[in-house]
Amino acid sequence: MKISFDWLKEFVKINKTAEEMAEILTLSGTEVESVQKKGKDCILDLDITPNRGDELSVLGIAREVSVLTGNKLTRQSSGDLSSTTSPRDDKPLTVEILDPQACPRFTCRIIDKIKIKPSPKWIADRLESYGFRPINNVVDITNLVMIELGQPLHAFDYDKISGHKMIVRRAKNGERVKTLDGMGRILSESAIIIEDDKNLIDLAGIMGGKLSEVSNETKTIILEAAIFNPVLIRKTAKEQALVTDASYRFERGIDQDGQIRALNMAAELILKCAGGETAPVVDINKIKFEPKQIKINLKKISSLLGIKIEKKEAEKYLNSLGFDQEGSVVEVPSWRNDVSIWQDVAEEIIRIKGYDKLKTELLPKEKPKQTSSTFKQKELLKDRLNDLDLAEIYSYDFLSSKDLEILKKTDEGLYEIENPVAPENRYLRDSLFPSLIKAIAKNPTYPQIRIFEIGQVFNLKNGERTYLGIGLAGDKNENITEIIDKINQTTLSDLKWQTKVLDEEERRRYKIKKKFTAMAEADLFQFLVDMPMRGKFDLIKDIQYREISKFPSIARDFAFIVGTDVKDSDLADVIKKISALIVRVELFDEFESNKFGKNKKSLAYHLEFQSPDKTLTKKEGDELSKKIIKLVKDKFKGTLRGK
């Protein structure tokens, strides 16, 4: 939003330059993106946050400047219109609100015997500085008041309103209205409209209607200032792809008690610039404004902010912001729709006190706890199982009586839950087989199923244990012992497995539609407890210092075809021992394929060669590569893939 610095100074005394004031506003949370010179004036371009609809006006920014500089507002409202107001029996008007939630308040007044003409130069200049195109004195004044006070207004041609009746209601699906831009718009129930005896005459809160437009022939107007539901305005503006200056303000929330002030100011200016006589205000207030009251506790506020806030200090800041305070209760002003809880009040206090007053503390020196070796082992095991084309599943630890019946199993040896979350899930599982069976049965559309789960099982004899379960299913047989052997070859050679191949009767009973289903499970106790101590699967490595070389490294990738019995770690260890110049050996790919031959697989490594005291040449890198290829061939009967 753009705002004139000279216009701002009409509301509050400012002893600072525009640039200095821009910095003060930015530090308080109202960001000024730029300051541009325009003749003797300066234009501040502000980025107003969506919750601060009260700042979408000159008065709103003037309030902020007043608080931040300590200077009182010098102008807040228009003069008294009582001297130019007279009862009008010859100009009847009926106003009715059918949906108070859509329009809680509607105020208006008739102004008669006006003369439509171009605006005075000072009004036109102000509007142009904001990017508004001057139209005529009446329309320009409604825009001027909206910019100054933040309350959108609209002027209707009184003589174009059939029956001199204005009914405010929600639109019906499919209703049409022609707006001032000449567009015929199809409305939904979210739109708020104003209608007369015959037609829709206004898309309320967004754009006026063509049928009631003020023209050069207009002699009598109805000047309107209302409150419209921000949610409905936002939804309609989005549906119609029509965001206007009025809808922008209604969406973000306007002053809930500023309609009469705006109406009076606009009427006063119209009488000065267009002549005429004004009738009294018509005020239909269906939902009267009740100021929000918030109970605050300075101890809680101080605790939240991390600094002590004194009572007098809080009162000073809140009073300057327009809040009324009695004891521990704060009354929020009508223009602050964004303040509703005590934390909002705390934010206002520190915003004015200054965010720079908040204490900054270093993060605690205590290092975060290391991830347990058990967790690391499980994660590495999962990676290995993923490499073997097994997908992980997660399932509940519970069994129902129906599960036991299907499994032809008794509750002997099972833990029974005293207060189960679901009454039917009364038992804790003592095996992963039921979970694997359920997962296979629920996924009939997959041609081949290869799954695993690492989960808890429970029985009265051994208590709680961590098990690994594997499930294979499909229309062709798979030897589950081959999967077990592959796991044992790498990391789990000490595991004791239980296997089960389901026969036709069992598959039918479990509603499994695959021709083949096999499962295996093993207790991971030895793996999780004993393995690290024996050094077979210890993931916690000793940290070794190696000085970082000043010289660049050479990177090479190798993919070897070797037997399936070759461990990737053994091959990597052999490569590392070839030369001290080999500083990195990292496996990045492993897979089996029939194209490599029977019992063959591919192991791909990323290697780095580096010297601590010189830059290695390409020739030296090639020589190391030849040694690696030869040693893999001699030691493992491996060949370079693609050769």
How far apart CA 206 and CA 240 sit, in angstroms, is 10
Binned at pLDDT 50, 70 and 90, residue 85 comes out as: low
The class level of CATH for 293-355 reads alpha beta
- pLDDT tens digit string along 284-305? 999 999 999 999 999 999 999 9
Residue 338 among known ligand-binding residues: yes
Which secondary structure element, helix H or strand E, spans residue 148, and what is its range?
Answer: helix 137-149
Which part of the chain has CATH 3.50.40.10?
82-285
Q: Is the pLDDT of residue 151 over 70?
A: yes
- pLDDT tens digit string along 495-549? 888 999 998 898 999 999 899 999 999 988 777 765 554 444 444 444 555 677 7
What is the architecture of the domain spanning 373-534?
2-Layer Sandwich (3.30)
Is residue 211 within 8 Å of 178, Cβ to Cβ?
yes
End-to-end CA, the chain: 68
Q: Is the pLDDT of residue 634 over 70?
A: yes
Helix (H, G, I), strand (E, B) or coil at 303: helix
Average pLDDT over residues 609-630: 92
How far apart CA 154 and CA 146 sit, in angstroms, is 10
Q: Is the pLDDT of residue 418 over 90?
A: no
pLDDT at position 539: 42
User: Residue with structure tokens 């209608």?
Assistant: 195
- Pairing, β 293-295 against β 105-112: unpaired
Q: Which residues contact 293 (CB under 8 A, 6 or more apart)?
A: 329, 330, 331, 332
Residue 366 among known ligand-binding residues: no
CATH number for region 2-69: 3.30.56.10
CATH number for region 554-640: 3.30.70.380
Helix (H, G, I), strand (E, B) or coil at 217: coil
CA 563 to centroid of chain Cα atoms: 51
Q: Which residues contact 617 (CB under 8 A, 6 or more apart)?
A: none
Residue 255 among known ligand-binding residues: no
Q: Is the pLDDT of residue 367 over 80?
A: no
Binned at pLDDT 50, 70 and 90, residue 423 comes out as: confident
Q: What percent of the chain has pLDDT over 90?
A: 64
Cα dist. 506→189, 395, 500, 502, 512 in Å?
58, 21, 11, 6, 8
Average pLDDT over residues 158-185: 95
How far apart CA 406 and CA 415 sit, in angstroms, is 18
Which part of the chain has CATH 3.30.70.380?
554-640
pLDDT at position 538: 43
User: Residue with structure tokens 């223009």?
Assistant: 335
DSSP3 helix / strand / coil % (the chain, rounded to 5): 35, 25, 40
| pLDDT-wise least confident of 74-83, 103-112, 166-175 | 74-83
Tokens of 142: 């409604």
Binned at pLDDT 50, 70 and 90, residue 409 comes out as: confident
Angle, helices 618-636/568-576, rounded to nearest 10 degrees = 130
Q: Which residues contact 634 (CB under 8 A, 6 or more apart)?
A: none
3-state SS string over 467-528? EEEEEEEECCCCCHHHHHHHHHHHCCCCCCEEEEECCHHHHHHCCCCCCEEEEEEEECHHHH
Residue 485 among known ligand-binding residues: no
> Can you name the CATH fold of 82-285?
Phenylalanyl-tRNA Synthetase; Chain B, domain 3 (3.50.40)
pTM: 0.60
| pLDDT-wise least confident of 88-97, 280-289, 571-580, 622-631 | 88-97
Which part of the chain has CATH 3.30.56.10?
2-69, 293-355
Residue 416 is given by DSSP the state B
- Pairing, β 329-331 against β 391-392: unpaired
CA angle 90-95-96, nearest 5°? 150
Binned at pLDDT 50, 70 and 90, residue 162 comes out as: very high
Average pLDDT over residues 488-493: 64
Residue 412 is given by DSSP the state T
